[in-house]
Amino acid sequence: MSNAPMRGIWPWLGLAALLVAVDQVTKLLILANYQLGESTFITGFFNVVRVHNTGAAFSFLAEAGGWQRWFFTGVGVAASVFIVWMLRTHPGEKLFAFALACILGGAIGNVIDRLLYGYVVDWLDFHWELLSGLFPGGHFPAFNIADAAITVGAVSLILDEVLRWRRSR
């Protein structure tokens, strides 16, 4: 059996590890310097804030009573295992592997939070008046580097599929 798939996976695992490291360092800085709910005005559309999210995206199931911590931890671990397997089988597909590495780094970053704290530490607070019809005060739900990496990965997966579809036509 060739070691080529394993050699090809290392840059992508390195990217995922870098995203986990940046995510965790920023969260540690927030935990060390902010109390829950405390925020700092940065610009007219951005604040740094400390928020604890016991749910998933947009605080989905945040008030579910505690079982969601383990459910989302399990989903994150299962997704991570699947993503590593996918990276092993497709390391040369650069955009696809980039997308998977971003999602992997984000998933691991948020799983670490759930295991250590029982919640995910969010701290990026973007707000625009035009969002006030959708979100209270126009504040998009706070998020973190891991969430941003997952979003970049998801958009990259969609782009990869669109490009793959166009090439096949």
Q: CA 21, CA 37: separation in Å to the nearest integer?
A: 24
94: left (phi over 0), alpha (psi -120 to 50) or beta: alpha
Q: Answer whether 87's CB lies under 8 Å from 9's CB.
A: yes
pLDDT in tens for each of the 169 residues of the chain?
Answer: 455 556 789 999 999 999 999 999 999 999 999 999 999 999 999 999 999 987 665 555 545 555 666 777 888 899 999 999 999 998 889 999 999 999 999 999 999 999 999 899 999 999 988 888 888 888 889 999 999 999 999 999 999 999 999 888 8
Q: What per-residue confidence (pLDDT) applies to 68?
A: 65
Among residues 23, 122, 125, 160, the one annotated as catalytic is: 122
- Catalytic residue from among 23, 113, 125, 147: 147
Nearest to 116 by CA among 32, 28, 48: 28
The answer to whether residue 113 is catalytic is no
pTM of the model: 0.86
Answer yes or no: are the C-beta atoms of 87 and 13 closer than 8 Å.
yes
Query: Can 122 be counted among the known catalytic residues?
Result: yes
Q: Provide the pLDDT for residue 137.
A: 84
